[in-house]
Amino acid sequence: MLTTLVSLLAAQNLISGEMLTPSSDYLASIPQPAEIVAYAEKTGRSDRPLLGSKAALSIDLDTNQTLYLQNPDTPMPMASLTKMMTILLTLENHSLDDIVTVDSRATKVEPSKINLRAEEEITVRNLVKAALIKSANDAALALALYDVDNGQKNDVSLFVDKMNVRAKELGMTHTTFENPIGFDSEDPTKPHESTASDLAILARALYKHPFIQEIATTKSTTISSEEGDTHQLESTNELLNSYLPVLGLKTGTTDLAGECLISIVKTPTGNRILNVLLNSPARYQESKVLSEWVINNFTWI
């Protein structure tokens, strides 16, 4: 029999005897009682996992219930986790079947790329695949420039403005975007940064799209342009090769951000757990450790 919602909210963050306080964005987005199927209850006795990540978070993707927090609201560089916002804006404003004529500026970006050529025509669908699966910088920039194409000389800063507006709409209160790719900011007065809490909000919004759920587990595939040029995509997410039932989602690495990873793991009970790791010394191993800790220490009632 379900306890009251108030009791659930009070109990959902009690982990190993510690009361963890989620951000107000999480509390505001807790589903109403009619939407709740099951909440996690901590039953295991093992200590909280020791993670080297500078920030970490784990939530139940379906109920937004907080399961683990470590510096969740500390802003820091986010690397290519940035591309989740680029992709989200693309999906919200364009059809997957739209055809993009690749801007020459997108072909010059380094290092991760699929070697798009200037004026190549390719669908939004295939560019989103490249940006998510391979984390291709040229694909992400091509999408951003396509979005702000108004028949004049495009300015990628217009797209960045849209990214920041959308972040505020989602409740990402500690996030500032400076580019659509994930490069570290060269200007300390204009940081490109986010938090584990904010990135969980973004990942949750992105993963609601059926197309993202469809492609997020792709290890390898080939995409083609309208002219017949082919581009091979190999996933950057090594966690897809693990023993865990991984459903996605996004990797990122830069000098300042370190190793970053957002993973979604399905538990034996069918619950989907979203983990965020920022600046980890070993993101894949730590994601496994965090996932196993959740699976072994919670039951869903």
Residues 221-273 pLDDT 10s: 999 999 999 999 999 999 999 999 999 999 999 999 999 999 999 998 889 99
Q: How many CB atoms lie within 10 A of CB 265?
A: 25
SS3 49: coil
- Residue 65 clears pLDDT 80, i.e. is over it: yes
C-alpha distances out from residue 35 to 39, 62, 227, Å? 11, 10, 47
Q: Which of 163, 124, 162 is closest to 142 using CA atoms? A: 124
Confidence tier at 172 by pLDDT (50, 70, 90):
very high
Prediction pTM value: 0.85
Which pLDDT score is estimated for 151?
52
Q: What is the pLDDT of residues 191-219, one digit of tens each?
A: 999 999 999 999 999 999 999 999 999 99
Pick the CATH number of 79-239 from 3.40.710.10, 1.10.287.1770, 3.30.2420.10, 3.30.530.20: 3.40.710.10
Q: Give the residue extent of every domain in the chain.
A: 79-239
pLDDT at 15: 32
**Per-residue pLDDT, 62:** 84
pLDDT digits (tens, 9 = 90+) for 112-146: 999 999 999 999 999 999 999 999 999 999 999 99
